[in-house]
Amino acid sequence: MTASESSRGPSASSQVADRPVRPYATAALVLIGLVAAGWSLDGDFSWLATPAGRADAWSRLTTFLAAFKAPDFAPDTLRLGLRLTGTTLSVAAWGTALGVVLAYVLALGASEAVMAPNPTARRWGNTPRRLCVEACRLGLDAMRGIPDFAWALLILTVPGPGPITGVLALAISVAGTLGRVYSELWDSIDPQRYAAVTATGGGRLATFLFGIQPLAARSMLSYTLMRGECTVRNASVIGVVGGGGLGGQLFEEFNYGHYERVATYLLFLVALTAGVDLATNALRRRLLALPDDGDLRVSLRRRLEVGFVLLAGLAAAAVGLADAGRVAWGEVHRVEWSFLRDTLAGLVHLDLSGSTLTDAFGGVGLPLALAAIATSGSALGAAALSGLGSVGLQLQLPFDGAAINDRLVRTRRWALVLVARGIALVLRALPDVAWLLLAASCFRLGVVAGVAAVSLHSMGILARVFVEIVDDIPPPRFEPFSSGSRTTAFAYVAMPTALRNWRTYAVIQFEANVRAGLVLGIVGIGGLGDAFHTSLSYWNLPRAGTFLLAMVVLTTVIDRISRRIRAGHLAHPGRSY
């Protein structure tokens, strides 16, 4: 591992506990998803069975791909793309900032360590604390369980469609995810490590501020930066349901068949998400790397510098959203609060009729099956990319009898590493909704396009993690195979060593892919998300509320199960999405 890589903090593999993910548990997730599938692929494939259908599919695909040879670089298109890119960044910045604040507040109430029971209290004296913990955890489950697309559809009834709706929807989603992470980080700290604070008479607040929080700060920072990367990707497509930014324009141009403009906006999107990905990595390295001379003042200065940059970015984002904020504020003043009250009452008054419950239960099958198939395929693809993209395997170990310092050999291997990592970067840079548009150009908007979209996006995410796990394998383990080929070393050393950790992150990604299946359902591939969107469109609020509850129950159950079967109590703070 190079010096630059070692500065990133703890290795991915070192963060995984000794308890592995059992192979049968991983296989069970896939089997459950496939058995739960209540849909048929006939609708997606039957039209390809005829010569006319295949010709139509080929024509659509070639027309779409040909647009990338000559994207629309007209001045008006570029100006609009730049403006929408700025809006997307602003939405992501404020969505993350508000989400962090809300997550911190709710995490305080959800943490067992912070809300520790009073040992001297009477029998029922700790009941309010227990109720507070359970209420905050339930709130975080609901915020995290409902996808940001669904939150956007619910919120836009107040400020109307636009960037402010995107900010609020993303803030709620970010708060649900980070609130759980923060509370679990605080709870995972051994009480003995901050026992000195409590022993000196420190109260609950002092114990948290001077004991728990400083010990968890490093991991919290890394998770927050990671969540910021994900929020940029989500912000880039939330405009599809009225959240502003690049997504709405991208979807509109695709529906009108303006593929040259679609290609242009996709290039903007890739540049945006890849740039943010690289920028957050640089911030993470600067914040988490220890000074060479051990001077803590250097670390403090770095944090102040990064903090100033982030505050300046938020100020610029606020200026960029000022016009949208004024429009949204005007919409809020025109809202009849009795209408909002009736809307909330309609959502809470669930439709528990047999037909609605049957549709809810049947709709769960699609996101489960989509996640199972996509996660399995993307894990295999990421494993292949990990061998090609590993710096240690390709550049630091002299296989095939080739001199490691041979310039031509090193150039070829560097090229292979950069190509593999570049492919992974592009795959994860395009959100799954954008990949859905690409896949729909051939398969139409349906289940197959959804599986392809989630598989490609997940492959890019998992490849990043898998490569780092392979790079963390100690070089001495490869010595028995130094006279063989890299393929042999990868098959007999890298894969068996990394497999347990790969399974861990695949299960984590399965959770994310279930939520992606709900989001793509809202966009139009079917399942529970589509049922919710359709019910809300017809203003059948009790039925829509039932489907919302089903989303929360589904994601909460998946979360609880996967946390039990995956390795470790917490994933690596900066490497999973």
Could you tell me how many residues make up the chain? 577
Question: For residue 47, what are its two tokens?
Answer: 């039209």
pLDDT tens sequence across 165-218? 999 999 999 999 899 889 888 888 888 888 787 777 767 778 888 888 888 888
Q: Which among 494, 505, 388, 419 is positioned nearest to 458, based on CA atoms? A: 505
Q: Torsion angle of alpha carbons 129, 130, 134, 139, nearest 10°?
A: -10
pLDDT at 301: 79
Predicted local confidence at residue 29, as pLDDT: 55
In the numeric block, the tokens 């009849």 are attached to 336
DSSP H or E stretch at residue 7: none
Tokens of 481: 């195979």
Q: Are 106 and 140 spatial neighbours (Cβ–Cβ below 8 Å)?
A: yes
pLDDT recorded at residue 403: 52
**Exposure string over 211-229, b if 16+ CB within 10 A, otherwise e:** bbbebbeebbbbbbbbbbb
Class of residue 60 by CB neighbours under 10 A (exposed 0-12, middle 13-18, buried 19+): middle
First to last CA, the chain: 23
User: Which pair of structure tokens corresponds to residue 227?
Assistant: 């969540």
Element (H, E) at 113: none
Distance, in Å, from the CA atom of 458 to the CA atom of 376, rounded to the nearest integer, reads: 10
In the block, residue with structure tokens 């929807």: 169
Which stretches of the chain drop beneath a pLDDT of 50? 1-21, 38-43, 401, 567-577
Rounded CA Rg of the chain? 25
Are the beta carbons of 127 and 51 closer than 8 angstroms? no
In Å, how far from its chain's centre is CA 133? Answer: 26
Question: Using CA atoms, how far apart are residues 16 and 22, in angstroms rounded to an integer?
Answer: 14
Query: What would the pLDDT profile of 14-66 be if each residue is shown by its tens digit?
Result: 333 334 445 555 566 556 555 555 444 444 555 565 677 677 777 777 888 88
Which domains are assigned to the chain?
A: 88-335 (1.10.3720.10)
Give burial (CB, 10 Å; 0-12/13-18/19+) of 4: exposed
Look up residue 14 and give its two tokens.
């070192």
Residue 490 DSSP class: I
In this prediction the pTM is: 0.81
The dihedral through the CA atoms of 506, 512, 518, 520 has a sign that is: negative
